[in-house]
A and B are shown apart, each in its own frame.
Chain A
Amino acid sequence: MHITLNGEAHTLAPDLTIAQLVESLGLTGRRIAVEVNEEIVPRSEHAATPLGEGDRVEVVHAIGGG
């Protein structure tokens, strides 16, 4: 399965959930937010939301700014 993750092409195992993707990135438990195809996926739904072919995924966090 091919997705775009933070603007870059990634190849993942089929039927991976958002929670599994987050875990594979070592981000479980971190303060992040996830958007798939420009729609927010709430944290409570990560485990039950499978990714699909061609999904555009954004994983963001807080950084310094003014």
Chain B
Amino acid sequence: MTDFIQDQPLRIAGREFSSRLLVGTGKYRDFDETGEAIAASGANVVTFAVRRTNLGQQAGEPNLLDVVPPERFTLLPNTAGCYTARDAVRTCKLARELLDGHRLVKLEVLGDDSTLYPNVVETLAAAEELINDGFDVMVYTSDDPIVARELERLGCCAIMPLGSLIGSGHGIQNPHNIRLIIEHANVPVLVDAGIGTASDAAMAMELGCDGVLMNSAIANARQPVLMASAMKKAVEAGREAFLAGRMPRRQTADPSSPFAGRING
């Protein structure tokens, strides 16, 4: 065990995280299920959306931040639902006020309703404005290595390419692009969107991703809490496999048992 590689924590914008699985808080049946799934996932970083407050609400109505208190989790407000740089920047500023000056955000600027594909032109514009305003920007983007490079050049603290469309569960459709992004990035790369099941998460980590962000794969599972546990293990297993280094692929068989000493030899 002398050459065992000791993993380092995930570092994003000067913060350290023991878990490389980041999770969303949408689509759960209720806050109890949200809380149980997040606990089972072991995630340190939890993303949420910012929306207009329901003005007819009752006093004492439960709040998401009661389930994921800022004292226990690193909260990652996101700009889901924004289609322009302007709306995304406004949303981040509202989130900063909501969380008393919190700077870490997940930027996503979408292109259309049916694909939720990132609009990279608006994303680049928003990233630049947010970084100039002091935000730490983890950015959702396409799996285009050149766009990823430009986002890093602007100062984004993590690049988060999609594996496939948000909520599709189609896994990682272009692992070669994800690998290209990883090879050239000097900031953490996390697959965000498209994970469907545990093997997808393991694949992301085996490719060398620094982490994985997911929501639907857990929340839309038949048993979300069990799937959260599976994802925790998959991310850990994929990370260890990446660090261990996989065996080379061979064109022919190679017996694990020695030929010498066979009784028919």
Contacts and interface: CB of A to CB of B under 8 A. Distances in A.
Interface stretch (B8-16, B88-96, B181-189, B200-208): B88-96
A65 B78 contact: yes
A25 B94 contact: no
B153 interface: no
Contact of B49 (A7, A33, A42, A65): A65
Interface string A24-66: 0111001111110010101100000000000000111111111
Given A32-B53, A38-B90, A59-B55, A65 B98 contact: no
A5 B95 CA distance: 18
A38 B156 CA distance: 25
Contacts of A42: 97
Interface in B141-156: none
A58 B93 CA distance: 12
Contacts of B25: 63-66
B80 A65 contact: yes
B24 A31 contact: no
A38 to B, nearest CB: 6
Interface residues of A, number: 25
A39 B25 CA distance: 27
A34 to B, nearest CB: 8
Nearest to B166: A66
Instruction: With a 10 A CB-CB cut-off, give which of A6, A25, A38, A65 has the most chain B CB atoms.
Output: A65
Interface string B55-81: 101110001110000000001011011
B34 interface: yes
B52 A7 contact: yes
Interface of A: 5-7, 25-27, 30-35, 38, 40, 42-43, 58-66
23 contacts: A26-B57, A31-B65, A34-B97, A40-B96, A40-B97, A59-B52, A59-B53, A60-B51, A60-B52, A61-B51, A61-B64, A62-B49, A62-B65, A62-B77, A64-B24, A64-B34, A64-B49, A64-B64, A65-B78, A66-B25, A66-B166, A66-B213, A66-B216
